Structure 1
């Protein structure tokens, strides 16, 4: 199993044919841990579809090495890529909580907002004090993300 097979599959994530993309996604998911490093690299691909599927796959494979790179991807200029990164982070479990709390004061509102939404999905009470600081954020997106996250976490508590 040489790396170029994984790299070829990653290239196919940008194929025009949905079936080709679906097959590549399935094959990469089966590769599991072996695909994590190449998928992390793919998060900085110039091709939006590759970034999008890489973010999605890293959430499915659920390897903690992907947490920091996915957090960096919350700055992606594409909204769908950011959303996938946020969704994947919310599948990472307790290991993602502290790193997400750490970026709640990021200068970029998109990062703060995405981190708040992901923390809501992670349902961890440790996030509440940091989320409360965002309730008067200048960004409506961040504010509603923080409100929603706090409500979700408190419901589960």
Structure 2
């Protein structure tokens, strides 16, 4: 009997890595059906770190632009690894994520600014150069480093 999307999402939290990998693969294969539930778990209170990490990663693999805003909201997550997966997923979204990422470069939260800078650097779109240069003097070392990486990466492509 085929597992439901919700059961597969719960399997992402299993202690057995093989169960996690199988669930990840099946959710990817069933991406059309799993998109909305994966987006939903990102903002659901009580969702475990593992499930959020895997969900963000899957949304990056799926690449549907509906996931951009929820992934941006996930950049505020308390867990560093969840934020990193959200940033990486956004970097996989390409052109569709450039403007939303540029728009959060002035966020009050240094973690959000830094994650946006790193994602923009991986995307490599020249529209981001000037907004990123504004972050080279940011109060946060994480943001400055991300902005420098991004500017160098974009200018050298």
Shorter-chain TM-score range: over 0.9
Gaps of 5+ in 1: none
Tell me, yes or no, if structure 1 residue 29 matches structure 2 residue 28.
yes
Match of 1:6 in 2: 5
Match of 1:84 in 2: 85
Matched ranges for 1:2-81 at <5 A: 5-45=4-44, 46=46, 47-81=48-82
SS in 1 for 2:134: helix
Deviation at 1:33, TM superposition (A): 1.9
Match of 2:94 in 1: 93
| CA displacement, residues 73-98 of structure 1 (integer Å, 9 cap, x when unaligned) | 01111011001000010000100000
SS in 2 for 1:105: coil
Q: TM-score, normalised by structure 2?
A: 0.95
Match of 2:135 in 1: 134
Match of 1:143 in 2: 144
Aligned length: 154
**Separation in 2, partners of 1:35, 1:126:** 32
Asked if the contact 1:33–1:63 (Cα under 8 Å) also holds between the matched residues in 2, the reply is no
Gaps of 5+ in 2: none
Divergent runs of 4+, >6 A? none
**Separation in 1, partners of 2:50, 2:145:** 28
